[in-house]
Amino acid sequence: MYTEPTTFSAEEYFATQPPPPTLDHDIEKVREFIQRQNKEGRSVVLVTSGGTTVPLELNVVRFLDNFSAGTRGATSAEYFLKAGYAVIFMHRQFSLQLFSRHYSHSTNPFLDFLEIDGPLSDANNSNDPDAAPIISVTPEKRADLLEVLSMYKDVHKAGTLHTLTFVTVNDYLWLLRAVSQEMALLGRKSLFYLAAAVSDFFLPRQKMSIHKIQSGKGSLHIEMDQVPKILKPMVDEWTKEGFIVSFKLETDDNLLLPKARQALERYGHQVVIGNDLHRRKFEVVFVSRKESEFDEYWLRIDLGEHHGPAHHAKEIEEDIVAELVKRHNAWIEKGKL
């Protein structure tokens, strides 16, 4: 049965689509985190990371997904922590995590860092706990692991990292609005780094099948609605003084800059970071407004710098974050005038 697509404003979306069941609990924890960071005088960045799913049934069996492992978000969050920011890391469940990302790939598996000292056969045939084999770190890997583990422990000791998870685009939108509203407390010391790959289309709850869509009926036709544009209410309502950075990914070079400029014109936020799908790991462009004109700043890294241990290889996110920290500091200072 065909139904006409609906155009949702952000206001209409939140009035008709239900919040995730854990929203109140999640935001209470976010509020406590933000209040603590504000008291300690830190700037706070919200980093969104990973892709979103679009369920096709209320009792979800089938869903649509989009491409994103969360690499840029997890990598950037680490560099923001190194720069002295407190980080709210809002990521897709099971996407790449900070710190453990260094050992998440098949090229650098964590278990390869470990050794077993003592024969397993002794442990299996003895009730003596002293005879049990000991797990140790491979000597040549100890320095690398110690560096990452030290960063992890320091961040947790300082209490500067808070994590949130989402799965569906609905989870993401509700969390983004609620976190943005809480971060308004920080004024210009709030930064938004919206690196998540958010679905452009969704199926409203009112149009979903209750049970699994049956395959015996032949071809499947679904009319989806467009996800509301939430950058405009972020700028105008939710976090009026926040420094907001969005991303634009394209596969056509000819569209990258026009689309980035169009986004700035439409939503009025501070920066769009444009990246081509095939060059995003070593080249991006910052597009911003400079009075009545657009300013474009290209950032590139040398692929020849990608050598050595995984977490010593040059990552473009290091330079992206450094540039944004500089711009955010200028934004903060401008607010003092």
241: enclosing H helix or E strand: none
Q: What is the C-alpha to C-alpha distance for residues 325 and 50, in angstroms, rounded to an integer?
A: 22
Q: Where are the domains of the chain?
A: 10-110+157-213+220-258
Q: Is the pLDDT of residue 58 over 90?
A: no
Look up the CATH number of domain 10-110+157-213+220-258.
Answer: 3.40.50.10300
| pLDDT score for 311 | 52
Tokens of 336: 């003092």
Cα dist. 120→109, 110, 115, 199 in Å? 22, 20, 12, 49
Minimal CA–CA distance to 111: which of 137, 133, 130, 93?
137
Mean pLDDT of the chain: 90
Of the ranges 37-46, 82-91, 101-110, which one carries the lowest mean pLDDT score? 101-110
77: enclosing H helix or E strand: helix 71-82
Q: What is the C-alpha to C-alpha distance for residues 13 and 174, in angstroms, rounded to an integer?
A: 10
Give 140-186 pLDDT, tens digit per residue: 989 989 999 999 999 999 999 999 999 999 999 999 999 999 999 99
How is the chain split among helix, strand and coil, in percent rounded to 5?
45, 25, 35
Q: What is the C-alpha to C-alpha distance for residues 83 and 208, in angstroms, rounded to an integer?
A: 44
Give 186-240 pLDDT, tens digit per residue: 999 999 999 999 999 998 988 877 777 777 666 777 888 999 999 999 999 999 9
| pLDDT score for 131 | 66
